[in-house]
Amino acid sequence: MPASPPTPPGPPARTARHGAARFEDWVHEVRERFARRRGHIPTVVPYTGYGSTDWVRVFCRVLLSKPRSGDEPSGRRRRRPGQESIRGWRSFTSVPVGDVPVVIRIGEVRIEVLADRGGVVDTKIPVELAPGWHRAVLSTEGSAEVEAPILVVSPETDFGIISDVDDTVMVTALPRPLVAAWNTFVLAEHARIPTPGMAVLFERLARSHPGAPVIYLSTGAWNVAPTLTRFLSRNLFPAGPLLLTDWGPTHDRWFRSGRAHKEQNLRRLAEEFPGIRWLLIGDDGQHDEELYASFAEEHPERVAAVAIRRLSTGEAVLAGGRTKTGEHDDGIPWVSASDGSSLADRLAEAGVLTGRDGAGD
């Protein structure tokens, strides 16, 4: 008898989702139906992306929000479309729209991708662009188009900066369980306090290493990205992508792991930019020092130096203590100080800051 034709493969098996994730999806579905009945429409909230001369990584989130008429009065300064009606606590109460198509146009490329179950888009697009700042145009379901800034890093760039946010560039001074709630629901960006001297440090680094990308890696939620971006701009920090995460349950656990989020993005950046050595900036109140030590051991050729801000006694108590990783004998400069200006001096002594600001001129 002739052999029967092979059975075509069936669809891939879907990973069973955690019960909390199924419950969250049900809540989102109920809220989405209610919001659409009230006339709310999908709105794309753009975030800053990055890339090289032959690809870019684009971020945004799709939320349902109340439409605003063009002549609606507002006492606030006019902001980029898609942000003026979704900010602060509204970014958390707005309903995310998952599994909807988002159209992205950048350069000569136009693609359509699906937002994830939390409404977040994080996608890598092949496209040829010159180094510098560009704009990706985003839209969904007939919504108004919005623009997302994209930083394209030059192939000649060999130095970059990865920095934590809470208690590193911004003073939190609250118990960790309350940090996100307070910063998101209570404080506007003009009421947040920058860490003393950190803007000076970043400005000196920018002068010492022109064109160096600055990437802010935090365990904060995507909801706070527009507010954090305004905070950084207001306090004269260099513009750069925010690598944040989406709160809530995943397919296999109650909450996303902030530590895993940082580990994964550190490794990804090392792979995406093999020619860049990174200055890693953090504080000793979370797991930054431990994470950076592990990354430096795994990729010593990718780390130019590590700068750790030492918290005050009160800040350390509120942060849940200090990390203790012992001495570092990995051959990589490690510096620490309580403020950004002192960190800049230590980095100059280590040779990371050069030129007019460096030591030994």
Give residue-wise pLDDT tens across range 245-269: 875 544 444 445 568 899 999 999 9
Q: What is the mean pLDDT of residues 77-104?
A: 64
DSSP 15-75: PPPPHHHHHHHHHHHHHHHHHHHTT-EEEEEEEEEEEETTEEEEEEEEEEE----TT---S
220 and 166 Cβ atoms separated by less than 8 Å = yes
Take residue 241 and report the two structure tokens written for it.
Answer: 């992508």
Greatest mean pLDDT among 166-170, 231-235, 242-246, 273-277 lies in: 273-277
DSSP 222-271: GGGHHHHHHHHHHTTPPP--EEEE--S--SSSSS--HHHHHHHHHHHHHH
287 and 259 Cβ atoms separated by less than 8 Å = yes
pLDDT at 296 over 90: yes
> Could you give the 3-state DSSP secondary structure of residue 286?
coil
Q: What is the mean pLDDT of residues 1-8?
A: 46
pLDDT at 98 over 50: yes
For residues 277 and 336, give the distance between their C-alpha atoms in angstroms, rounded to a whole number: 19
Which domains are seen in the chain, by residue range? 19-30+39-64+87-152 (2.60.40), 159-357 (3.40.50.1000)
Does 90 or 152 have the greater pLDDT score? 152
- For 344, phi and psi rounded to 5 degrees? -60, -40
pLDDT at 34 over 90: no
Q: For residue 13, name the pLDDT band (cuts at 50, 70, 90).
A: very low
Q: For residue 39, name the pLDDT band (cuts at 50, 70, 90).
A: low
Predicted local distance difference test score (pLDDT) of residue 183: 54
Which range among 27-36, 194-203, 287-296 shows the weakest confidence by mean pLDDT? Answer: 27-36
Give residue-wise pLDDT tens across range 320-333: 444 555 566 668 99
pLDDT at 293 over 90: yes
Predicted local distance difference test score (pLDDT) of residue 111: 97
Does 49 or 75 have the greater pLDDT score? 49
Q: What's the sign of the alpha-carbon dihedral 263, 269, 274, 277?
A: negative
Q: What is the mean pLDDT of residues 105-129?
A: 95
Q: For residue 221, name the pLDDT band (cuts at 50, 70, 90).
A: confident
Q: For residue 215, name the pLDDT band (cuts at 50, 70, 90).
A: very high
Take residue 222 and report the two structure tokens written for it.
Answer: 């995507």
Q: Which residues contact 195 (CB under 8 A, 6 or more apart)?
A: 167, 168, 169, 170, 171, 309, 339, 340
Closest by Cα among 44, 42, 45, 98 to 228: 45
- Mean pLDDT of all residues belonging to the chain: 79
Q: What is the mean pLDDT of residues 344-350?
A: 95
% residues pLDDT > 70 (the chain): 66
